[in-house]
Amino acid sequence: MKKIAIVGITGYSGLELFRLLQSHPAVEITKICATSHLGEKLSEVFPQFESLTELTIIEFDAQEIMEKCDAVFFATSSGVSKKLALDFIEQDFPVIDLSGDFRLENPEIYKKWYKNTSADIEYLLKAEYHLADIGQAKANYIANPGCYATATLLALYPLVKNQLIELDSIIVDAKSGLSGAGKSLSVSSHFVNVADNMSMYKINSHQHIPEIAQQLKRWNPNFKALQFSTSLIPVSRGIFVSTYAKVADAVDFASLQSAYEQAFADKPFVRVRRQMPQLSEVIGTNFCDIGLAYNPVTNVVTVVSVIDNLMKGAAGQAVQNFNQLFGYEENLGLDFIPSL
């Protein structure tokens, strides 16, 4: 039984982590940390947890966590873990970080996209950016991918890895529910502006773009750039990504379909669908559902990928990475049936 601490318990991802880990058969949550509601029981702040936990929200203490826990999850906003996580890195203590602070290996790229300075390069190099459905988590510091990045990379992996498309033709149209923006209030998150509406934001400037590009270049060094747009849709949670690319010469639809089926054949949380997936089919689960279509007239492949941004895009993938890191079955604590 692994003893776990969650830092950033009061955010959407922190609460989702708590929900997952509370019922994980190999985990005991022993510490929950935040900067607000200190000294209050979690069930007092969030009544849905009444009778399910007696844990109290406490102040963050790295040394105490390392002495009394086996791993720590950071469900904090950008700019926090790059300060609080350094002691853990120095002690090679297992960390799974849901923020963007350690996803980018180049400090200058982090500064450009996050408008802030990054952790020192010596710490960045000890972190492993790990997409849970590609490969095996190994490093003790796991940089959990972003929600948009997860859905986009899983959609593109078979195409880019197997050189099935023209690399300079990738266009991604990504849409997110409101919880993807976190709990901080803003004019754009006001009900009146979101309900019955759709709006594009951070065009060509979303912070998940560089981590997508970084990973695609690892899969194929010839990759240079992609066109990526993000929109807000009036749902509470979910990511819907439509990806388009020109197919390479001599590649037909059967080859494309086969590449996806082979790439994810042994991946329990990626489902290659025979029909285009719908967002409602993955909400509350750790699944990424993928569907594809090919237009022989335009020579364009369309790939649709859908995830729950708080599950596969955050807490669910973090638990999946935790399972890999500690040698548990990958789907332990994550086998949820989608709700109807």
Active site (catalytic) residues: 147
C-beta atoms surrounding 277 within 10 Å: 20
Q: What is the DSSP letter of 312?
A: I
Among 137, 157, 147, 164, smallest CA distance to 206 is for: 147
Angle between the N-to-C axes of helices 147-161 and 209-219, in degrees from 0 to 180, rounded to the nearest 10: 20
- Distance separating alpha carbons of residues 225 and 306, to the nearest angstrom: 22
C-beta atoms surrounding 68 within 10 Å: 12
Say if residue 32 is exposed, middle or buried (CB neighbours under 10 Å; 0-12, 13-18, 19+).
buried
230, 201 Cβ separation under 8 angstroms: yes
| Type of residue at 117 | T
- Tell me how far the alpha carbon of residue 299 is from its chain's centroid: 31
Alpha helices in 4-128 (DSSP H): 12-22, 42-45, 62-68, 81-84, 86-90, 107-114, 121-124
Supply 47's token pair. 């009544």
Note every long-range contact of 293-301, with CB atoms under 8 Å and residues 24 or more positions apart, other chains counting: 294/247, 294/252, 294/253, 294/256, 296/253, 299/246, 299/247, 300/244, 300/245, 300/246, 300/247, 301/159, 301/164, 301/165, 301/244, 301/245, 301/247, 301/256
